[in-house]
Amino acid sequence: MKRKYRRHFDGSPVSVLACVIASMCGAADWPCWRGPSRDGISRETAWSHAWGTNGPAVVWRASVGKGFSSFAVADGRVYTMGNTEGQDTVFCFSAVSGATLWRHTYPCELQPLSYEGGPSSTPAVADGRVYTFSKGGDLFCLDARDGRVLWSRAFAPWPWREGDLKNTWRYAGSPLVAGGRLVMSLGEAGTVLDAHTGATVWESPAGHPGYASPVPFRAGETDALAFFAGHAVVGAEAATGRRLWQIPWRTEWDMNAADPVIHGGRLFVSSGNGTGCALYDLAASPPREVWRTKHLRLPMNSAVLWQGHLYGFNDENLTCVAWETGAARWSERSLRRGALMLTADGRLLLLSENGQLAVAQAAPEAFRPLVRARILKGRCWSAPVLANGLLYARNAQGEAVCLDLRP
């Protein structure tokens, strides 16, 4: 049956793919999940953490519906998603004023299970288009100017069995746009579409796609993609989908959600529920395990790599781990779990599960907090985004806030 939807108009060596993403956005824009380089690191340095006793100034607030979608920021606009009364909505706001410029709404179940439910994917913006993906498999390509549907596809519902807890989170991976291609976490090792038409370029066999998002990297002279699927991490040739390698990785409930980190020919992978993390040498065939530890157990949000050290939220704390050895440098319990990003001057922006925003210097010697402030109530699992001096954050109930961090 054809679905109905509504549009409301209100006025290190990195892959060539990653370079293409970065070149498509403004100097401090954040056009997709994990930013222009897909590594959680912003190029921004012109921002201030001198908030005073009352925290950062609030620029605007908005209600966006339940969900865990983060934010994409491009060309003076900010995009996110949420669910209200059985409908998903894609929101486009003015990045500075918070005015609603347009909304795109379509039917989609909330699908909560021991959490609030709603969309987990973050929109991607490229070449004047916005790409969004729902938990139910609805993929839209929208005109960034007014939200008009340019094309759409409905993928098969998540392969789940009634009563099977392993499959209740449904689709969560965020789209990746590069080189005219749209990369999706679909099938057991990804799917690539033509970004202009939505036509399939290549697809992998049906299977558990996991909950992470695709990661571009360079394999020798080849542009490649990493997919953290339900049972393995898979490397594939970007142009054809040919598998380069496959690393088995099993987690309780198949909860593989944190994007891998790839640097210098090595791959870091981690998941929660007591599983832990490992580093692999991709130059070996098959990839060789360099080290394995449980110091980092990333349940949902990815780690960032800065000057030879990884920083990420475990189930109960923020932890720093050495890239080369896996040795734990320090662990900080005051923030418990949460999400983070890093700026080009080595400052961590940390959003705790209970809505506390903290800034800390990324340093392996010790946790070095600079300032803290409570900015939201309720559960906060979505990654904060800093773009052009403004910070965007939200909670699972759908309260979104824009804060002024301009100097």
Residues in the chain: 407
Single-letter amino acid, residue 268: F
Residue ranges of domains in the chain, CATH in brackets: 6-404 (2.130.10.10)
Report the phi/psi class of residue 68: left, alpha or beta, with left for phi > 0 and alpha for psi in -120 to 50.
Answer: alpha
Q: Give dist(CA 7, CA 188) in Å, integer.
A: 33
- Tell me, what's the pLDDT at 379? 95
- Tell me, what's the pLDDT at 402? 98
Average pLDDT, 10 consecutive residues per value, the chain (407 residues): 48 46 63 97 94 92 98 98 97 98 96 87 98 96 98 83 58 95 95 98 93 96 95 96 96 89 97 94 97 95 97 94 98 94 97 97 97 96 97 98 97
What DSSP designation does 4 have?
Answer: P
- Tell me, what's the pLDDT at 168? 64
**Using alpha carbons only, what angle is made at residue 180 by residues 232 and 88, rounded to the nearest 5 degrees?**
70
- Tell me, what's the pLDDT at 6? 53
Place of tokens 């720093």: 320
- Tell me, what's the pLDDT at 2? 43
Single-letter amino acid, residue 17: L
- Tell me, what's the pLDDT at 24? 46
- Tell me, what's the pLDDT at 9? 45
Whether cis (ω within 30° of 0) applies to the bond prior to 286 is yes
- Tell me, what's the pLDDT at 113? 74
Q: Give dist(CA 294, CA 101) in Å, integer.
A: 45
SS3 content of the chain, % helix, strand, coil (to 5): 5, 45, 55
Element (H, E) at 340: strand 338-343
- Tell me, what's the pLDDT at 12? 41
- Tell me, what's the pLDDT at 160? 57
- Tell me, what's the pLDDT at 173? 96
Q: Is 242 helix (H, G, I), strand (E, B) or coil?
A: coil
User: 307, 324 in Cβ contact below 8 A?
Assistant: no
Q: What is the DSSP string of 142-208?
A: EETTT--EEEEEEPPPP---TT-GGGSS---PPPEEETTEEEE--STT-EEEETTT--EEEEPPSS-
**pTM value surpassing 0.85:** yes
Element (H, E) at 19: helix 16-23
What DSSP designation does 69 have?
Answer: -
Per-residue pLDDT reduced to its tens digit, 158-193: 665 555 555 467 899 999 999 999 999 999 899 999
The upper half-sphere exposure of residue 67, i.e. CA atoms within 13 Å in the direction of its Cβ, equals 34
